[in-house]
């Protein structure tokens, strides 16, 4: 039996084998490049984290509350005191920093003549000697008139004698009334002299603290020239120029809050609205609202602050 000799294909078809080898390598290279491109594309896509069952805390920034309208907190009373008369300063009765009550003396001018005048008029106003003497003469004249009336009724006197007695009674009565009037005038003159004497003493018109004294003993002062500054800082007075629209709901007696950033932490104090202007300012569209606040111990008067209304 004859036997065919078979050969491998690559031996029998050398050209076709080379073709498939090149094609396989190209396809493999293309596959590798495509897979690499896909990998790069997937790697560049953002990843979305899986939802977590635990809540995540976000940081919060707390904004400070609006402190309100900017204003100046002044002393409720800030007075520049002066004499109404000229004179020489005899003594300083209060120094800067002295707490005084209403009516306490602050400065004294030399007033020897004014004091003497007051003492003279006080003596005249208190004396009743002239009244008593004229009253006695009047009483005597009335007795004489009665006697002459009796004598005249008996026909033992003329009409002229009776008339003379009647006029004497009238004269002594008028003299008594004149002395009474003079004493009343002396009382009024004493009040005038006392008022002039009081002008030689500068007194505190309100409770407060002497903040400044600008004169020394022995100096001569001019009327109307301020020599003492008196302040009352127990209560701060704040005039707020608030937008007119914001003031419509406000009422006298309403609450206000003052904030001062001069201290750390800021000082906050409650106050009361005591006045709201009846007329607004059209040019600035604002309206005056006056607030009074008890002064916190840490703050002076005359400071910048903020006010808001509740």
Over the Cα atoms of the chain, what is R_g? Answer: 54
Report the C-alpha gap between 6 and 46 in whole angstroms.
61
Q: Which segment of 35-39, 97-101, 219-223 scores lowest on mean pLDDT?
A: 35-39
Q: CB atoms < 10 A from the CB of 22, how many?
A: 9
Show contacts of 181-184: CB within 8 Å, 24+ apart.
Answer: 182/130, 183/124, 183/125, 183/127, 183/128, 183/130, 183/131
Per-residue pLDDT tens digits for 158-167:
999 999 999 9
Which tokens belong to 268? 């906050």
Distance CA 209, CA 95 (A): 9
Q: What is the pLDDT of residue 25?
A: 54
pLDDT for the residue 11: 41
For 168-181, write each residue's pLDDT tens digit: 999 999 999 999 99
| pLDDT given at position 295 | 95
Give residue-wise pLDDT tens across range 130-153: 999 999 999 999 999 999 999 999
Six token digits for residue 258? 């003052």
Per-residue pLDDT reduced to its tens digit, 87-124:
999 999 999 999 999 999 999 999 999 999 999 999 99
Instruction: Give the residue from 60, 52, 109, 56 showing the smallest Cα distance to 86.
Output: 109
Question: pLDDT confidence of 18, banded at 50, 70, 90?
Answer: very low
Contacts of 149 by beta carbon, 8 Å cutoff, 6+ apart: 162, 165
What does the buried/exposed string (b/e) look like for 88-103 if buried means 16 or more CB atoms within 10 Å of the residue's CB?
ebbebbbeeebebeee
Q: Residue 31: what pLDDT?
A: 56
Characterise 103 by phi-psi region: left (phi > 0), alpha (psi -120 to 50), beta (else): left
230-309 CATH pick, 1.10.10, 1.20.1740, 1.20.140, 2.40.30: 2.40.30
Q: Where are the domains of the chain?
A: 111-199, 230-309
Task: Quickly tell me which residue has 């059209």 as its tokens.
Answer: 282
Assign 45 a pLDDT band (cuts: 50, 70, 90).
Answer: low
């Amino acid at each position: 039996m004859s036997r065919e000799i078979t050969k491998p294909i690559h031996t029998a078809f050398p050209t076709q084998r080379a073709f498939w080898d090149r094609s396989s390598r190209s396809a493999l290279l293309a596959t590798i490049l495509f897979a690499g491109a896909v990998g790069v594309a997937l790697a560049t896509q953002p990843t979305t984290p899986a939802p977590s069952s635990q809540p995540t805390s976000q940081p919060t920034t707390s904004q400070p509350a609006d402190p309100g309208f900017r204003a100046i907190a002044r002393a409720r009373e800030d007075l520049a005191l002066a004499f109404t008369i000229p004179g020489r300063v005899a003594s300083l009765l209060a120094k800067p920093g002295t707490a005084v009550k209403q009516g306490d003396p602050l400065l004294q001018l030399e007033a020897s003549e004014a004091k003497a005048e007051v003492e003279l008029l006080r003596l005249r106003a208190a004396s009743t000697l002239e009244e008593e003497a004229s009253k006695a003469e009047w009483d005597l004249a009335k007795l004489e008139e009665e006697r002459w009336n009796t004598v005249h009724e008996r026909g033992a006197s003329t009409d002229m004698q009776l008339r003379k007695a009647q006029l004497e009674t009238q004269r002594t009565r008028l003299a008594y009334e004149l002395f009474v009037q003079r004493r009343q005038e002396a009382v009024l003159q004493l009040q005038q002299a006392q008022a002039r004497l009081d002008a030689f003493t500068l007194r505190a018109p309100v409770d407060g603290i002497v903040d400044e004294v600008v004169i020394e003993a022995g100096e001569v002062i001019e009327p109307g020239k301020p020599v003492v500054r008196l302040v009352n800082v127990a209560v701060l007075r704040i005039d707020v120029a608030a937008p007119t629209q914001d003031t419509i709901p406000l009422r006298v007696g309403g609450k206000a809050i003052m904030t001062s950033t001069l201290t750390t932490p800021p000082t906050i104090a409650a106050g009361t609205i005591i006045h709201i202007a009846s007329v607004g300012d059209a040019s600035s569209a604002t309206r005056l609202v006056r607030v009074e606040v008890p002064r916190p111990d840490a703050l002076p008067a005359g400071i910048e602050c903020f006010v808001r209304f509740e």
